[in-house]
Amino acid sequence: MKKTLSVLTLLAIAALPAFAELRVATVDMAKIFDSYGRAKAATAFIESEGQKIGAELNRRQAEGRNLAAQLETLAAKYNNTALSQTAREDAKKQARSIEDKIDAKREEFEHYQAQARQTLAQKEQTQRETVYNEIQRAVTAVAHRQGATLVLNVSEKTVVGLPAVVYSDPKWDITSSVIATLNAGAQ
């Protein structure tokens, strides 16, 4: 036990020069995402794509409602005893045809909705990764220029919702420099 403790002590003493070189910078990633023009553009693009999908879903729902209204009209016809048996039978056949169309439209709608959701999620993931990689490169460049060896995200929260970084010296916050670098490069 003493030998293990001695080895650990020696390792800790040997590692002290490495810790002396540690310079920790901080960034507020949430603020960077909110302030970076390309991140805003990516968010606007995803919102626009979502609106297009929503409009298409609304159009398809309107088609379904139109078919349902036709079905109601035909149901009233084939239930109308004042009409001839032939007219009622024709209305019943037309109603079956409309019911088949409604079933097909419902299936198409559900397939389109699932596919659109998946496509939108993939586009969002791609946009997020692209923007994150740009931000990461800018953070790395600024950190190197300022002599930082480690960068922590101060906007990160713990599992219980508390800040992950309890304290950091404001002089080591590189958020504004990163934002300036990113937005200057985007022009």
Amino acid identity, residue 25? A
150-153 vs 24-27, strand pairing mode: parallel
Determine if residue 88 is left, alpha or beta; phi over 0 gives left, psi from -120 to 50 gives alpha, anything else beta.
alpha
- Residue 88 has a pLDDT of 86
Between vectors from CA 43 to CA 157 and to CA 120, what angle results, nearest 5°? 100
Spell out where 19-93 has E strands: 24-27
pLDDT, average across residues 25-34: 95
What pTM value is reported for the model? Answer: 0.71
Instruction: Catalogue all structural domains in the chain, each as residue range(s) with its CATH number.
Output: 22-185 (3.30.910.20)
CA distance 15 to 5: 15
CA distance 110 to 101: 14
- Going by the DSSP 8-state scheme, the letter that residue 110 receives in this structure is H
pLDDT, average across residues 125-139: 95
Confidence of residue 7 (pLDDT cuts 50, 70, 90): very low
pLDDT at 43 over 50: yes
- Residue 83 has a pLDDT of 85
